Amino acid sequence: MRKIRRQARRRRPHSRRWERKRQIYFLREAAAFIRHIFSYVPMIVIRIIRVAAICLLAFLIVWNLGQRISMIGDSMNPVLENGDVVLVNRVVYNARRPGRGDIIIFKPKGNENSHYYIKRVVGLPGEKLKIIENSIYINGERLEEEYETTDLDRVGLASDEIELGEDEYFVLGDDRENSEDSRDADVGNVKREYIYGKAWFILSPRENFGFIKE
């Protein structure tokens, strides 16, 4: 009889006190596990921020310095050749205005249907320019150019003095015998808002790879 009673006692459900201890134990274990997981959160957040910063930096570099434009024609020989793929610096003119001698990329008259033109800045805003006997005159003084060019036999619109507006630039190709530029009515003076950026690096072909020599 006593054996039966002892077995019955053993089969009784656990006491409430024991159940509560067990619950507390599991809660502590769960809390410890959660604290362990959350201990990694700062590290994960820092890594996410680093990756995001790197991606943003890469995007900004590509967007502002890595846009590619193909040279069409031989108007910028010998600096650029037909088919050269050049990189565009789009941020430089946020800090300063285009300067004389810069090789810029633009769309004539802002025509979105036109291909990009690559030419050299010769005349700056507010200046008066005229081509006389194969020479360029800026505000009455002959311009001395330090880069290689061909003769200016065709003067076009610059046969008469051109006065540039406060946001206008006069551009020419270095190979002036084979260049459509500000001498032509279809191009004319280039407004600042039409300038896409500055050509700064030749990406291909391999033999021309490197910085553009101005």
Catalytic residue among 3, 21, 75, 179: 75
- Cα gap 197→91, rounded to integer Å: 7
Catalytic residue among 21, 114, 119, 213: 119
DSSP letter for each residue of 181-198: STTSTTT-SEEGGGEEEE
Token pair in block for residue 74: 């031989």
Which of 113, 108, 112, 163 has the alpha carbon at shortest distance from 138?
163
Determine whether 119 is an active site residue. Answer: yes
- Cα gap 45→71, rounded to integer Å: 45
Q: Work out the angle at residue 197's Cα, subtended by the Cα atoms of residues 178 and 109, and round it to the nearest 5 degrees.
A: 60
Q: How many residues would you count in the chain?
A: 214
Instruction: Assign 146 to helix, strand or coil.
Output: coil
Catalytically active residues, by annotation: 75, 119
